[in-house]
Amino acid sequence: MLTRSFMTPETNKDLLAYTPMFHARMFSEGAKYRTEHFEPVRGTLASPPDSYHTSQMQDSDWYLDGHKKLDRPLFVQFCANNPDELLAAAKIVQPFCDAVDLNLGCPQGIARKGNYGAFLQEDWDTIYKLINILHKELDIPVTAKIRILDSREKTLQYAKTVLSAGASILTVHGRQRDQKGHNTGVADWSMLRFLRDNLPPDTVMFANGNILQHDDIAQCMKETGVDGVMSAEGNLYDPSIFGKPPPMGQEGREYWRGRDGEGGYRMDAALRRYMDIIHRYVLDQEPPQRKPLFLPSDPVEEPEVTEKEQDEDNREDGPPPKKKQKRKEDRAKGQREKCTSPNLTVMQPHLFHMLRPLVSKHTHVRDALGRVRAGDIDEFERILSLVEEATKEGLLEYEKNGEASFQTDQEKAKQEEGRDPESLATLARCKRPWFICQPYIRPLPKEALAKGALMLSKKEKARLEREKEEAEKSGVAPEGRVEEHKEVSNGEAKVADIPKEGLVCG
C-alpha cells in the first residue's frame, strides 16, 4: 500500500505485490502461524477454505491482505518440499489472491536446513511435482521464482522444467544461489536475455536483480526483454521506487530535488505516509492532525518539547537504573500483551531499512527505533517527529552548504577505499543526502575481499600461491581465473566463487 501510494491511480494497478515467503506446512497446520502472517479477514483464517465464499463477502468482511480494492493483484508465496503440504496451504489462500507462487530462490541458511527454496534446485523431480499439483488442483494459476545456475544451458533446461510443470509466470533472479551477503555481487542480465530468447515466445517472464532506482526498471526490461520487473530489497529501502518522480517545479513538500536536478522522496514524507496507512487501515482511526512538512522557505520555529519528552530527557541525564530495577522493568514489559498483528510486528525492521542513512547519522533516532516495542504507536509517532526534525536540519544544511555539507573528505575517502570504479560510478549515480529515500549499495565481492569482509580459505591461498609461482616461471600472469573464498563475516564459513574480471555494478 505504501509503494502504491507513490503511483497514480491509473498506474498503481500495474503493481503486482507478493506476500512474504510462508512455510507451507506451518501455514496449513498452524492457525496461530496464519494469524501472525496473513490477514485477509479479521481473526484467525480458517481451514479448510470452503467456509469462505468471497463472491458473497461484503466490503466490511475483508481486512487487508488480498483486499479486493486495496491489495490486488496479489500473489501468495510459499516455500515447500512436500506437494501435499503445499496444496493444503495453497487451498487456504486461494480465495484471497490471484496466484500462488513457489519460491525456489531463497538462498538463506534456514532454507538449506529445511531443504526448500534455492536448495531444491538440484531436485527437479520434486520441483515438478510441487508445481504440477497446484497446476492441476487450484482454480488460480501457479507461478515460480528461480535463481540462475552455473551455465546457460543448464539454467535454460531448469526453466523449461518449471514451465512444463505448469508455471504460468517464471521469475528469474539473475544471481546464483551462493550470491548473498558480502558475496551478493551483480545480477546477470545477459543470462535473463538468453532465457528470454530461447524460451517459448508466449512465456511470461519477470526479472529480479539490480533494481536500485526507478530508471533501472525500464533499463532492465530493455536489456532483458522481460514482461515485468521485481524489486524486493530495493523497494524496502526506497518504497517510491515504482513511482515516477514529479515533473520539475512540481515537487511540493514531499519530493526533494537538489541543485544538480537529481532528487527523491524525503524520509519524513515516506514515514508519514506509512504511519497514516497504519492509523487508517490497521487501527481503524483517523491519523493525527499534522503540520505541513517543512520547507526551507518556511519560517524557522523552535521545536516544541512535550512533557513526555522532557521527562525522558531528564531520566536519560540521570544515572542508569540499578540491575534489580532494570530486571523489574524488563519483567513488567514482558507481562504486557504481546503484539501479534503482522502489520505492526514488521514496522521496526522495515523502518530500519527505509531510514538507514538517516539513523546512521542521527544515532538518537536509531536508538529510539531500537527500543520501540511492536504495537506502541505513540512511540512510532515520536520517532516520526524525530525524523521530521532531522530532515528539517538536513534541508537547512543543504541550503547553506550544498552537497559538501553531507560528506567530509575523510568520510568520502573511507567510503571509496577499495571501491571498484564501476561501483563508485553506481554510488555517484544513486547517492542522495541522508534524509532522502535511497537504495543500499552493497560492495562488490572483490571489494569485500579487499576490505577483509571475505577471507580466502587455506586451500585457495595455496592454489593462488602455486599459480603465482607458475606465472613467474612462465612470465605470463594468470587471467580470468575464478577465486574460491569463504565468507566469515557471520561466523559461518561458506564457499562461493568470485569472478576475477567482468564485474559490473548496477
Q: Mention every residue, 6+ apart, whose C-beta is less than 8 A from residue 266.
A: 254, 255, 256, 293, 391, 435, 436, 437
DSSP of 429-478, one letter per residue? HH---TTB-----PPPHHHHHHHTSEE--HHHHHHHHHHHHHHHHHT---
Q: Which of 79, 97, 106, 220 is catalytic?
A: 106
pLDDT of residue 492: 36
Q: What are phi and psi of 486, to 5 degrees?
A: -120, 135
pLDDT of residue 304: 60
| CA dihedral sign of residues 169, 173, 178, 181 | negative
Report the distance separating Cα 269 and Cα 146, nearest Å: 35
**Topology (CATH) of 2-244:** TIM Barrel (3.20.20)
Cell triple for 35:
494469524
How many alpha carbons fall within 13 Å on the CB side of residue 199? 30
Cell 500473489 appears where?
75
| Amino acid identity, position 351 | L
Tell how far CA 264 is from the center of its chain: 18
Q: Per residue of the chain (506 residues), what is the pLDDT tens digit?
A: 999 999 998 888 889 999 999 999 999 999 999 988 999 988 777 766 565 777 777 778 888 999 988 899 999 999 999 999 999 999 999 999 999 999 999 999 999 999 999 999 999 999 999 999 999 999 999 999 999 999 999 999 999 999 999 999 999 999 999 888 777 888 999 999 999 999 999 999 999 999 999 999 999 999 999 999 999 999 999 999 999 999 999 999 999 999 888 899 999 999 999 999 999 999 999 999 999 999 999 886 665 655 555 555 555 455 555 555 555 555 555 555 788 888 899 999 999 999 999 999 999 999 999 999 999 999 999 999 999 999 999 999 999 888 766 664 445 555 556 666 667 778 778 889 999 999 998 777 777 777 766 676 677 677 778 877 887 777 665 544 433 333 333 333 333 333 333 333 33
State how far the alpha carbon of 137 is from the alpha carbons of 15, 45, 126, 276, 304, in Å. 27, 21, 17, 40, 60
How many alpha carbons fall within 13 Å on the CB side of residue 327? 2
Report the distance separating Cα 417 and Cα 415, nearest Å: 6
Helices assigned H by DSSP within 199-261: 214-224, 233-237
Helices assigned H by DSSP within 355-457: 356-361, 363-371, 377-401, 409-416, 421-430, 445-451
End-to-end CA, the chain: 27
- Burial category of 337 from C-beta neighbours within 10 Å (exposed 0-12, middle 13-18, buried 19 and up): exposed
pLDDT of residue 473: 77
Report the distance separating Cα 413 and Cα 54, nearest Å: 58
Report the distance separating Cα 73 and Cα 66, nearest Å: 8
Question: 138 with 131: CB under 8 angstroms?
Answer: no
Report the distance separating Cα 385 and Cα 393, nearest Å: 12
Question: 93 with 142: CB under 8 angstroms?
Answer: no
Question: 234 with 228: CB under 8 angstroms?
Answer: no
Helix-strand-coil split of the chain, %, nearest 5 = 50, 10, 40
| Amino acid identity, position 227 | D
The structure's pTM equals 0.81
Residues 35-88: pLDDT tens digits? Answer: 889 999 887 777 665 657 777 777 788 889 999 888 999 999 999 999 999 999
Q: Across 275-371, where does the E strand assignment appear? A: none
Conformation bin of residue 408: beta by default, left when phi > 0, alpha when psi is -120 to 50: beta
Nearest to 264 by CA among 214, 226, 224: 214
pLDDT of residue 418: 61
pLDDT of residue 493: 34
Report the distance separating Cα 160 and Cα 198, nearest Å: 10
Rounded CA Rg of the chain: 25
* CATH 3.20.20.70 in the chain, residue ranges: 2-244
Active site residue 106: yes
How many alpha carbons fall within 13 Å on the CB side of residue 76? 28
DSSP of 319-339, one letter per residue? PPPPHHHHHHHHHHHHHSPPP
Question: 123 with 79: CB under 8 angstroms?
Answer: no
Q: DSSP 3-state assignment of 224?
A: helix
pLDDT of residue 457: 65
Residues 155-178: pLDDT tens digits? Answer: 999 999 999 999 999 999 999 998
